Amino acid sequence: MTVAEGTLPLAPEHRRAEAPARTRRAPAQPAAAQAGAQPVSATPPAGAAVVARSAGSWHTRTFRWPAVRAFLLSTVAYPAVGIAVLLALWWLGGWAIANNDDVATFAGFAPAPAFAALGELVASGDVWGTIYPSLYRIGMGLLWAFVIGVPVGVAIGLSSALREVTHVPFQFLRMISPLAWMPIAVLAFATWDGAIVFLITVAAVWPVLFSTAQGVRRIDPLWFKVARNLGADGWQMLRRVIMPAIGQDIFAGLRLAVGVAWIVLVPAEYLGVTSGLGYAINDARDTLEYDTLAAIVVVIGIIGFLLDGLCVSLIKRFSWRQAD
């Protein structure tokens, strides 16, 4: 086939400047977010340039007060208020405990002793030795959940027969509390670590699996048709169409999985192991070091928050919906 010179007359959409809408929206967004959303418009069409100039240079637009205020509010002020309220409630609780003679021995739970203990844990480096085994178990559990959940999820998303066959067993298994597997896990695995990883996997696999399956079912059927039409084989379909289409669903499932895995981790570490955050909590309780216990709880919260943030950035990374 010979490719001729293009002589397509200018269609109306060429002339329709996309810039005005974007310019109007600009003050509400920080410049960085905009640049990220429009990586390709380095050379705007002629119409856009005129509009942009009339609306002022990038600098004057970026530093307009409403934009700065919105940015500061959402990234600094609102989170700060939330943290302050949480700390205030904690402090109030600690104050109430300290002033009640019946439970005054638990005064270590208050923020001040807890943060002092946290500082000590970090300074001595003990905290890393506590965090590392827990992160390892979480990581392994999530890895297995991923390795099992994604392929099975894709399969039941693609095959309605498989979906119907697995429906009852999966819903049945899903409803069993992961901790109810504990005795079986202890019997089945030679090491405590193995048992804990198993419990986390059992908890984390379902959100990954169901979210993946749902993502597959939501794929536009025309995407399959077009790819088949262009000559895609099964592997190419999986790699070029299905996986990119459901990336964000997989990581949304993983985000839920991190939540439940993190919840299961601590009680699972009450089992025979002598390391990890759950063990540290149990140990602190037995030795009556309530300030350390509270410090470990803070550590658990912070790591959970960071893991969640990691998942959110993965979801963003694999999201192709422009509205996101």
Residues 154-183 binding another protein (CB under 8 A) are none
Nearer to another protein, 10 or 175 (CB): 10
The residue whose two tokens read 């986390």 is: 200
Candidate list 143, 148, 232, 314; residue touching another protein; CB under 8 A = 232
Number of residues that bind another protein (CB under 8 A): 40
The yes or no reply on residue 46 touching another protein (CB under 8 A) is no
The yes or no reply on residue 24 touching another protein (CB under 8 A) is no
The yes or no reply on residue 283 touching another protein (CB under 8 A) is no
Candidate list 12, 66, 169, 234; residue touching another protein; CB under 8 A = 12
Nearer to another protein, 214 or 236 (CB): 236
Residues 6+ apart with CB under 8 A from 102: none
Candidate list 18, 120, 289, 308; residue touching another protein; CB under 8 A = 18
The yes or no reply on residue 29 touching another protein (CB under 8 A) is no
Binding mask 198-227 for another protein (x = CB under 8 A): ----------------------x-xx-xxx
The yes or no reply on residue 234 touching another protein (CB under 8 A) is no
Token duo for residue 304: 């959970």
The contact set with another protein (CB under 8 A) reads 1-6, 8-9, 11-14, 16, 18, 38-41, 43, 220, 222-223, 225-233, 236, 240-241, 244-245, 247, 320-322
